Amino acid sequence: MSAAQRSESLSVGAVSRPTRRIRSITFDTAVHDLGKQHILLRGYEMHGAAFVELSWARPMTPDGARGSIELRVPTLEVGKMLGLSEPLRRSIADRPLEARSVAETERRERVLERADTRIAVGFDDGFVECGGRRSNFHEIELQLLEGAEDELWRVAAEFARQAEARFLPASEAELALARASETGIAPVKGRRPALARDASLDEAIVVTMSACLDQFVANWPALQFHAPEEAIHQMRVALRRLRAGAGMLLEGVASRALETACARAKEIAATLGAARNLDVLADMLIAGPLAEADGEPRFYALLDAAERRRIETHAEVAALIAAPQTTQFVVDLRAALAAKDWAPLPANGTTTAALDPSAPGSAREFAIRSLDRLHRRAMKKSRDLASLSPEQRHKARIAFKKARYAAEFFESLFDAHDEARRYLRRTAALQDKLGVSNDLAVAAELLRELGEADPALAPASAFAVGRCAHARDRGAVDWKKIEKSARKLETFWR
């Protein structure tokens, strides 16, 4: 923290404020009524005054934003805070509130002035007590007081490079409360962007890329709790959406920042993909060969080997998410989105005119072009499916996935909501059908690797590989039927 306070990005042009000592208490019922509803009720005392903050996170709000209300109150005595409003009483079913965590913080503050932008910087050292455990924390908070948001994220990106800081999707007090509760922090699915019909392409880029980044970051805390497998899956989906979206958007704008984000997302996704494949393999072994093993020890040894590899990859994922490079990826992309760090593509002599990304309605025009192109590509890649190789079918699957992601990004720009949902549902089904044989091929390759790494596992590994081949043959897909289903896809954007 001392080094952080001396860092150039947080000290040049800064004016210090007096140090504050803050005592905060998080309230909930004994059965975590508020936590289950993504509501946080926090009271805090500072300089002899008491305040209460009620905040809520998605899915409480349709756009995924976090909202809050903060009021000064006479006391933090539970029964008197806010007079326990009727809506709050209903949300806890009249069960009594109690202190769930207590945090004590020493906050050193300063204000950065950059051109017409003022940013408050808080350096927090303290501890939190929750569930009989005490944890120390050291956090830095940046808050935009006045001016441009892009300057806030530029400062964050500069500081992240200098200090190797880690981005925190939740405070240590929230994490401690989740650890002490039965609910923990659940994995988060992505939200579909909401765009006005006359939105500009600039607005569409910010909204769609932010939605992907939000999903990725929101799942970091869930790695520590009950469902790391689902958190890894959701982070992987978020990065796939981000890469597909950025690749599509680079057909409309020129942006080194989006190209860099794409490359970084691919690197991170590779580690997530390795972990996800082993999660799927473990489930497959339990449901398949082990169910037929009749107590054969070698099959349990194979499962143990797969489980050890899975634990190793989960540790690699946790280390990757905690690494400064991953935080840098997040804050650099946030800074690029806030600054709209892209430019129109120059005209290239084709019949398609260049778009002005700042023009009202340019998002819809770009969406029609992109959806047409991606839909045509999916149709072309899926032509004559029965005669395609597994690799070619996998490319067809990727083409449908990109078409589906684009449809999710731009659905709100068009009035045909029922048709859009039908298109999304059918492209997802086609993607799943095309992916079955690929999943079995990935599992077989992992099993071969386990058998080659330990000769004692080779017989069980060979049996499991054979079972994957048998499952692929037994579940032989009627490719002509799938192709016919693809041809029936009806577009919703024209």
Residue 107 lies in a domain: no
Could you write out the DSSP letters of every residue in 287-331? HTHHHHSTT-HHHHHHHHHHHHHHHHHHHHHHHHHHSHHHHHHHH
Residue among 122, 54, 145 nearest 91 (CA): 54
Instruction: Give the number of domains in the chain.
Output: 1
- The C-alpha atoms of residue 305 and residue 486 are separated, in whole angstroms, by 40
Residue 317 lies in a domain: yes
Residue 218 lies in a domain: yes
Q: What are the CA-CA distances from residue 485 to residues 251, 431, 438, 463, 481 (Å)?
A: 29, 12, 20, 35, 6
CB atoms within 10 A of CB 346: 8
End-to-end CA distance of the chain: 56
Specify the DSSP class assigned to residue 354: P
| β-bridge pairing 39-46 and 20-28 | antiparallel
- The C-alpha atoms of residue 435 and residue 365 are separated, in whole angstroms, by 32
Q: What does the pLDDT read at residue 63?
A: 45
Residue 225 lies in a domain: yes
- 10-residue averages of pLDDT along the chain (494 residues): 91 91 89 83 87 70 61 76 66 84 93 92 93 89 94 94 87 76 78 93 96 94 85 96 96 95 96 92 75 70 90 95 95 96 79 81 96 95 86 90 96 94 92 80 88 89 81 69 88 92
- The C-alpha atoms of residue 125 and residue 136 are separated, in whole angstroms, by 8
Domain that holds residue 306: 190-494
Residue 330 lies in a domain: yes
Rg over alpha carbons for the chain, rounded to the nearest Å, is: 26
344: part of which helix (H) or strand (E)? Answer: strand 343-344
Q: What does the pLDDT read at residue 57?
A: 66
**Which CATH number belongs to the domain containing residue 421 in this structure?**
1.40.20.10
What is the SS3 assignment for 71? strand
Torsion (CA) 369, 370, 376, 377 in degrees, nearest 10: 150
Q: What does the pLDDT read at residue 256?
A: 96
Half-sphere exposure of 345 (CA within 13 A, CB side): 16
CB atoms within 10 A of CB 56: 19
Residue 161 lies in a domain: no
Q: What does the pLDDT read at residue 78?
A: 66
Q: What does the pLDDT read at residue 62?
A: 37
Residue 443 lies in a domain: yes
- 267-282: per-residue pLDDT in tens? 999 999 999 999 888 8
Residue 96 contacts residue 74 (beta carbons within 8 Å): no
- The C-alpha atoms of residue 293 and residue 372 are separated, in whole angstroms, by 50
Q: What are the CA-CA distances from residue 128 to residues 75, 137, 166, 169, 491 (Å)?
A: 21, 8, 19, 17, 53
Residue 40 contacts residue 34 (beta carbons within 8 Å): yes
Residue 73 contacts residue 81 (beta carbons within 8 Å): yes
Q: How many residues in the chain? A: 494
Instruction: List residues bridging with 102 in a β-sheet.
Output: 25, 129
Instruction: List residues bridging with 105 in a β-sheet.
Output: 22, 126
- The C-alpha atoms of residue 240 and residue 382 are separated, in whole angstroms, by 21
- The C-alpha atoms of residue 95 and residue 79 are separated, in whole angstroms, by 12
Residue among 119, 125, 162 nearest 142 (CA): 119
Half-sphere exposure of 143 (CA within 13 A, CB side): 9
Residue 336 lies in a domain: yes
What lies within 8 Å, CB to CB, of 385 at 6+ separation is: 393, 396, 479, 480, 482, 483
Tokens of 248: 């599509």
